[in-house]
Structure 1
Amino acid sequence: MSDDSQVGDMIINPRGAADDAGSALRVMVLGGTGFLGRPICRALADQGHTVIAVARQPRDLGQGVEVRALDLAAADVDEITDVLRELDPDVVVNAAGGMWGLTDAQMLAVNVTLVERLIEAAGRLPRRVRVIQLGSVHEYGLVPVGTSMPETLPPAPVMAYGDFKLRCTTAVAEADRHGLIEGLTLRVGNVVGAGQPGHSLLGVVAGKLRAAQQAGERARLELAPLGSRRDFVGLSDVVAAVLLAATRPDAAGRVINVGRGVAASARDMVQLLIDVSEVPTDLVEAERTGPAETSWQRLDVGLAAEVLGWSPSDDLHTEMKQLWEHAGAEVSA
């Protein structure tokens, strides 16, 4: 088997996962047809694992991936228990959840309630299952400009989504300590890649650029201030981290940051997408009326290197190109 796995047009370098994987695993991916779930499923299948994607709206994910329909936000503990017993996974990856376009009540259901029910269901099984929770950089909140956020930093989320994801991380850690699951959380930065959610900043920008391109017009982007600096990470890097987390013994019980370790401005990301698209564009930012810019997030990714043997890519140009090409494919479909 090659060291590289291909997900559509995206090349995933597992950075050692194939060497460490040993025998094939049975992996259940919750939210398996979504932005993160789909490439995770494909990469796992390409490595020879048995993969079952669980999602509310099933779709074909290609050879080697079984898709099971289940509304995870609505499913009770007994339903989830029945599915776990039937599928008998070694690893469960929770790529479900979300924030874009959701109310607080909806975010609570698809994040916290789902994780709590999953833990209770997994605790009923005769053996411990490894549960990989995909957490968020937003669990930390904000830090002083110029500093990084290690896993030892006390979380202080400043938005509801970050608070909900922190509650998930805490629940997984407590369940691991009590022996209900073999749990770990990958605390992920702001992900950039193919299939970007349409409600996200880059998803909105991609949609407007495509509309202008199709109309043969110059694009005009009128956006909120873009000075906030965040840790943006490529989708392929996140997938690679998940593959490693599925097999590395030392990952159990941990919270591990997955980011680039770089604080890039939202303006830089929007400009990179414009450059990749080659669509003539006027970018207009609203003037900032609040306090001086202090919105800063940069993950310390040293533990990921130590425990997973993982490191991020140098830049996001390839990921942004795949985002743009995928947006074009959706428009023409």
Structure 2
Amino acid sequence: MNKEASDMEKVRWGIIGCGDVTEVKSGPALQKAEGSELVAVMRRNGALAEDYARRHGVAKWYDDAEALVNDPDVNAIYVATPPGFHREYTLLAAKAGKPVYVEKPMARNHAECQEMIAACEEAGVPLFVAYYRRGLPKFVEIKRLLDSGVIGDVRFVQSTYTQPMRAYQDGLEPWRIQPELSGGGLFVDLASHALDVLDFLLGPIGEVKGFASNQSGQQKVEDIVTTSYAFESGVMGTGVWSFSSHKHLDLNEIVGSRGKLSFSTFSGDLRIESADGTVEEVEIPNPPHVQQPLIQTMVDDLSGLGRCPSTGISAARTNRVMDELLRDFYRA
């Protein structure tokens, strides 16, 4: 940790890109976390930045990222833009010597992640990534259960996520399905959460094999990805993410020698099944501002009071896995 970070009395955040994700998930959390304050926001559309600042009680607003980064009242930067801008703004913040919190996925590809990590390491500033499930009570509890051996030795993992195809008018596609902005399609936006959660629960994924395709013939991005992979620990895994199926399904199953844990990536359900047939179903709701627990770990990290579990190093591993799965699709 650099001297500036360790000497902070309060982490005073500036947001680059105060769009939808910051309205409830993160912006209020930056204000409510202990030892944290949101002091400035920026959007290229100054009127929207001013409106956000007024509605959220933020003192300053900008329409220029460099001006926000160089504001002396701002000592930490939150990059909440689409991934296509994460590298640019992370390097800008690192050059100014300010810690960076960047939205997920960390970047469009693993190479950009490596550049961001190197720039922050050279500047001596921390780099955090918004894989906020690492701080949510449900996933903290799942990790505790796994570490306690409640299902024995973990053998394999299965992840399934499906949803119907969404229709968009030509020219009005959201940034999440514009590879030049997002790095891919909805797989990159949504599956990154599941892949990072599994990294958090079971450690890094090693070898990865899989396929990506566009089965619907719509849009220009992948709408199905299948994979088989092996964790460095020896646990095996499979996954399928389909975005042109008949209904919504969100299920992860971690199977062990003495039981199984079943849970979704995006809701609060958790099912614990023992070898003797005993089943316990638990609902662990999310807090009102889902990023607040992770943000608190970052503030504590910057204040020398703890460690944040979601860093550039851990987040880059998820980008590496996604690169492996999408490489042949985009090469074609």
- Considering the TM-score relative to the shorter chain, is it more than 0.5? no
When the two structures are superposed, what TM-score results if normalisation uses the length of structure 1?
0.39
Higher relative contact order (CA 8 A, sep 6+): 2
When the two structures are superposed, what TM-score results if normalisation uses the length of structure 2?
0.39
